[in-house]
Structure 1
């Protein structure tokens, strides 16, 4: 079992745990919404997607951030997942990311949607 994200205490008073598939989902979320430079010992960890919430919308910016996010997922989670598709969209102050992937260990396909608002 793995520690659940976000960190919390379960009903038994212990650290909440989660299964492998949910843990991979949690790691994807952390990677996508961590800004590069935010982690002290890993300054290149992250994707920079949150800056899109406040940036003016443009096709070029969306394409650049989508490319950056795909590269980050392949770099940091490439041993765990096979990234099939990643879609980034921003409307007003809401950022939506849809990630389609296959978990290597189980060959189970998964689709996760992450939404952040300013």
Structure 2
């Protein structure tokens, strides 16, 4: 078991934990929604995806963001998972990222969707 994200407590008052699959999903979420420079000892960690919430949408921006997200996920989580697809959609002030991946330890195919709104 790994620490749950966001950090919290379970019903017994202990630090909440997450299963292996939930932990990997939590790690993906952390990479996606952490801005570069936000972590002092890891200044390149993250994607800056939250900036999309306030940017004008366009197909070119969505494509560029897809490459940015895929590169960051590969850099930070490439030893745990193999990415088979990343899709980024930005509608109004909402960003939705769908990540398809294979967990290297178990070879299990997974898919996770993350949504953030700016309003």
Class of the TM-score when normalised by the shorter of the 2 chains: over 0.9
Aligned residue for 1:36? 36
Once the 2 structures are TM-superposed, how far is the Cα of residue 61 of structure 1 from its aligned partner?
Answer: 1.2
Aligned residue-pair number? 118
Q: For the Cα contact (< 8 Å) 1:89–1:95, is it kept in 2?
A: yes
Q: TM-score, normalised by structure 2?
A: 0.97
Q: For the Cα contact (< 8 Å) 1:57–1:90, is it kept in 2?
A: yes
Runs of 4+ in 1 over 4 A off after TM superposition: none
1:62-83 CA deviation, whole Å, 9 max, x = no partner? 1111101100011110010000
The answer to whether the aligner puts 1:81 opposite 2:69 as a matched pair is: no
SS where residue 12 of structure 1 aligns? Answer: coil
Partner Cα separation in structure 1 for residue 92 and residue 61 of structure 2: 14
Aligned residue for 1:71? 71
Partner Cα separation in structure 1 for residue 18 and residue 33 of structure 2: 20
Aligned residue for 2:55? 55
Partner Cα separation in structure 2 for residue 21 and residue 5 of structure 1: 12
1:41-88 CA deviation, whole Å, 9 max, x = no partner? 111000111111100001111111110110001111001000000000
Any stretches of 5+ residues in structure 1 without a counterpart? none
